[in-house]
Structure 1
Amino acid sequence: MTHPIEADASGPAAPADLVPRSGRQFALSAHGYTADVASIGASLRTLRFEGRDLVVPFEADEVRPGYRGVTLAPWPNRIVDGRYAFAGVSHQLPLTEPARGHALHGLAAWLDFTPRIVETDRVVLAAVVEPQAGYPFRVEVEVEYRLDADGLTQTVTGRNLGADAAPWGTGPHPYLVAGPGRVDDWTLELPAESVLTVTADRLSPVAVEPVEVHPEFDFRTPRAIADTFIDHAFTGLVAAEASSAPVASDAASLYRVVLTAPGGTGVEMTWDAACPWVQVHTADTPGADATHRIGLAVEPMTCPPDAFNSGVDLVVLEPGAAHAASWRITAR
């Protein structure tokens, strides 16, 4: 197919219909919030409240840095060695985290999602994970982003379009921004009673242990993150209703993480019971100051790391079945 060409005296000609590197763009706005969603990976590219960043953004014509803002499916986090067995059959996935030797964050990250609904405050996108080596299942991933007075709510629905049961898990990957400064400057409230310990070299899961045993990961009482390194999954989540702070009554607000800057600005993330786990990562990139600890990844997850092997909280989608999970980001 021949593309029309536009002349540009300042540089070489380019196709008139050139799509940005992050895919087609969908701009949302409502109640002081704005968001930009990119079609590649159904990624949250920007989220702002009254002009203030709530997540670490990236440019439209930029290859998305890592997994920033991406939708994780059909599994979040790591599958150790990329190997697992399901329904008595062994599978080997490509190792997408080669330095550690794992299959990381699913198969939807580089899919180009197609719009189903586009409104000023809402977009619904969908893509199909086709049967492939290591994941011989056909699953549709539908992603809705919606803005309202409470912030941005994302809902991810997995639908099994195939003839066999399929393992499933999902979650988001935003890097939250509380305000000026970096992760070290911010205060974290994380209502989790247990942490999944990992190996130092590969971050492979070891055991779920009480945070009392690992006080560096105990943020049930808000405190500064300082120089703590975190790249761990947490569970034993305490419902926000049990705290003294007010919380919305809908299901998307059952659990809550709060991040606060010294000046009093902040951001919170709430999610429903479909995600009994949350991964938190301090975005450490030693030697790359431009990205080092500039945002805190908060990733509600339907299952823990390596759930395809452990089976813990793993969703099994029967043929024709669907599973939905949602979470919300709100300015404070």
Structure 2
Amino acid sequence: MPSTEHSIASGPYTAVVTARGGALRELQHNGRDLVVGFGPDGRVPDYRGVICVPWPNRLADGRYAYAGTDYQAPVNEPERGSALHGLATEQIWAVREAAEDRVVLVCTIGAGPHYPSDLKVSVSYSLGPGGLRSTVSAVNAGSASAPYGVCPHPYLVAGPGMLDEWTLEVPAREFLDVTPDRLLPIGMKTVEEGGFDFRSPRRLGPVRIDHAFTGITRDAAGLARVRVKDPAGTGVELEWGAEWPWVQIHTADKPVGPDRLGLAVEPMTCPPDAFNSGADLLHLKPGETHSASWTIRALA
């Protein structure tokens, strides 16, 4: 039986990637966790480290219309009536390439009642001195155009302290307000209006966040970074490029079970429910490819 676990290493970095959802299961720097991990068996808890494709976040009622045809995706978040995180999180991805410091996984999303076309998706994970560099690519392998969005779903760990004690930096000036019951989009607000202004680093405290941010400040190379730091002096950074105009931040609040274990930082090509709103939605023509990359690295 083929292995569903793939360990890679380079210098002080080690990682474990699982075929379940194409997910990053572990990432460590000198033995210190940089993400919230999970076990080698069973379902991936809380979508940790999965690749959310062909849409990120929520699709209201799992319904959308595209090119004159109605589609119905499985509603996998029944308490909010949404299709959450796309169609690939429950798949077992296949290994296309494996080396000591790199692994590439692939999956296929087929055309049908959920989606208009065949989509072939790959994700690469590569370790080096600069941390874990990842790239997700998708090619429309079918004969019809298709809507497309994507995001990774890691939960970052700054250090040994509680999340409330961590310092957060998010270079965004706006966020998408959502309904309190279903977390579906309402409209844009400034980060000052929402109490989510982390453009200068500040302590998280008890604030609860589960929102998509945009209006992102980037450097000359088009890169943006979210940083979290622990009072002990350790930290972690997620860096992403201009391919991702949005980033979802979630403080991992749970009404029952382990609470606030890490900070979800999810670069997104489009906001929640984009298949219905059309906001920043990509349209892949037959044969067209889209790729986007991100990096997770330790901060001393």
Task: Tell me if both proteins adopt one fold, taking TM over 0.5 as the criterion.
Answer: yes
Q: Name the SS of the counterpart of 1:66 in structure 2.
A: helix
Q: Which residue of 2 aligns with 1:220?
A: 199
Give, as a single letter, the amino acid of the residue that structure 1 aligns with 2:22. A
Q: Does 1:138 align with 2:105?
A: no
Q: Does 1:58 align with 2:38?
A: yes
Q: Does 1:266 align with 2:245?
A: no
Deviation of 1:61 (Å): 2.3
C-alpha separation in 2, matches of 1:173 and 1:287: 21
Q: Which residue of 2 aligns with 1:238?
A: 217
Q: Which residue of 2 aligns with 1:162?
A: 142
C-alpha separation in 2, matches of 1:153 and 1:110: 23
Give, as a single letter, the amino acid of the residue that structure 2 aligns with 1:274. E
Alpha-carbon contact 2:116-2:145 (below 8 Å) kept: no
Q: Which residue of 1 aligns with 2:266?
A: 299
C-alpha separation in 1, matches of 2:185 and 2:262: 24
CA RMSD of aligned residues (A): 1.2
1:258-305 Cα distance to aligned partner (Å, 9 max, x none): 0000111000000011100000101011332xx200100000001110
1:328 to 290, 295, 300: 295
C-alpha separation in 2, matches of 1:234 and 1:298: 11
Q: Which residue of 1 aligns with 2:283?
A: 316
Give, as a single letter, the amino acid of the residue that structure 2 aligns with 1:193. R
C-alpha separation in 2, matches of 1:298 and 1:126: 23
Alpha-carbon contact 1:240-1:256 (below 8 Å) kept: no
Ranges of 4+ aligned residues in structure 1 off by more than 3 Å:
none
Alpha-carbon contact 2:140-2:146 (below 8 Å) kept: yes
Deviation of 1:63 (Å): 2.4
Q: Which residue of 2 aligns with 1:83?
A: 63
Q: Which residue of 2 aligns with 1:124?
A: 104
* Number of residue pairs aligned between Structure 1 and Structure 2: 299
Alpha-carbon contact 2:8-2:100 (below 8 Å) kept: yes
C-alpha separation in 1, matches of 2:275 and 2:256: 34
1:93-119 Cα distance to aligned partner (Å, 9 max, x none): 221111000111000001111111101
C-alpha separation in 1, matches of 2:108 and 2:200: 41
Deviation of 1:181 (Å): 2.0
C-alpha separation in 1, matches of 2:67 and 2:112: 17
1:199-224 Cα distance to aligned partner (Å, 9 max, x none): 0111010001111222x211111111
Q: Name the SS of the counterpart of 1:217 in structure 2.
A: coil
C-alpha separation in 1, matches of 2:43 and 2:104: 22
2:186 to 201, 206, 209: 206
Alpha-carbon contact 2:116-2:144 (below 8 Å) kept: no
Give, as a single letter, the amino acid of the residue that structure 1 aligns with 2:256. G
Give, as a single letter, the amino acid of the residue that structure 2 aligns with 1:294. L
**Any stretches of 5+ residues in structure 2 without a counterpart?**
none
Give, as a single letter, the amino acid of the residue that structure 1 aligns with 2:152. P
C-alpha separation in 1, matches of 2:40 and 2:66: 38
1:31-83 Cα distance to aligned partner (Å, 9 max, x none): 21000000111100000000000000111124211201101101100111211
Q: Which residue of 2 aligns with 1:108?
A: 88
C-alpha separation in 2, matches of 1:62 and 1:178: 26
Q: Which residue of 2 aligns with 1:48?
A: 28
Q: Which residue of 1 aligns with 2:253?
A: 284
Q: Name the SS of the counterpart of 1:108 in structure 2.
A: coil
Alpha-carbon contact 2:161-2:232 (below 8 Å) kept: no
Give, as a single letter, the amino acid of the residue that structure 1 aligns with 2:179. T
Give, as a single letter, the amino acid of the residue that structure 1 aligns with 2:232. G
Deviation of 1:125 (Å): 1.0
C-alpha separation in 2, matches of 1:240 and 1:229: 28
Q: Which residue of 2 aligns with 1:8?
A: none
